């Protein structure tokens, strides 16, 4: 597609439940990035992929967060046993190659209650 598509737009989970977020990068883009925006302006890098390979996962809280980008499937970010502090907007972005412009999806707002 011509835009980064994130689903769902909104997700509500009870504390302790699992949350799974999806991101379809722009067709032909090799790099995918996940970010977490807590409150209004606190962005944090989580993980990046080059095709289906993890490129940089230094921002991932490993205990409960995992992510995949499998061929011919949307990328996914999964949070096991969600906590209240996981409430945030999760943005996905993609770029065609390294050090080229990144395009952002509209985000998934996760609310943990």
Partner 1 sequence: KNEVEQSPQNLTAQEGEFITINCSYSVGISALHWLQQHPGGGIVSLFMLSSGKKKHGRLIATINIQEKHSSLHITASHPRDSAVYICAVGRGSQGNLIFGKGTKLSVKP
Using CB under 8 A, list all residues that contact partner 1: 31, 33, 35, 40-45, 48, 55-56, 58-59, 89, 91, 93, 95, 98-99, 101-104, 106-107
Least distance (Å) between residue 30 CB and partner 1:
11
The residue (of 13 and 90) whose beta carbon lies closer to partner 1 is 90
Rank residues 36 and 82 by Cβ distance to partner 1 and give the closer one: 36
Listed residue (70, 60, 86, 79) closest to 25, CA to CA = 70
Whether the Cβ atoms of residue 108 and residue 88 lie closer than 8 Å to each other: no
Helices (H) and strands (E) in the chain, counts: 0, 11
């Amino acid at each position: 597609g011509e835009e980064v598509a994130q689903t769902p737009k909104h997700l509500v989970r009870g504390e302790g439940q699992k949350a799974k977020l999806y991101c379809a990068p722009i067709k032909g883009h090799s790099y995918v990035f996940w970010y977490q925006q807590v409150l209004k302006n606190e962005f944090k890098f989580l993980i990046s992929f080059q095709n289906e390979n993890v490129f940089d996962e230094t921002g991932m809280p490993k205990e409960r967060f995992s992510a995949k980008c499998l061929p011919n499937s949307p990328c996914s970010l999964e949070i096991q046993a969600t906590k209240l502090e996981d409430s945030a907007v999760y943005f996905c972005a993609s770029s065609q190659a390294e050090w080229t412009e990144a395009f952002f999806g509209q985000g998934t707002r996760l609310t943990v209650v």
